[in-house]
Amino acid sequence: MSVAKVIEIHSEGSSIEAAVESALTEAAKSVDEIKNIYIQDIQAIVENNKITMYRTTTKITFVVKS
């Protein structure tokens, strides 16, 4: 049996994909065996009627080593 843990990370980027990749990159600095990313929330920041940035709230699942 394996044990999994979920952490929540808020990140931003120039696209949705960049924001999610940023969350993964940050999590991977201190967590091994990442198995899944669930995108819980997406926001678009608008300035002068144009999207300038995306923000995501992600839940990252990883296996806890025993």
Residue 65 scores a pLDDT above 90? no
What predicted TM-score, i.e. pTM, was given to this entire model? 0.86
Q: Is the pLDDT of residue 13 over 90?
A: yes
- For the segment 29-54, the average pLDDT, to the nearest whole number, is 96
The mean per-residue pLDDT over the stretch 44-58 comes to 97
- 14-39 pLDDT, tens digit per residue, is 999 999 999 999 999 999 999 999 99
- Spell out the domains of the chain, with CATH numbers in brackets: 3-64 (3.30.1660.10)
Three-state helix/strand/coil letters over 2-58: CEEEEEEEEEEECCHHHHHHHHHHHHHCCCCCEEEEEEEEEEEEEECCEEEEEEEEE
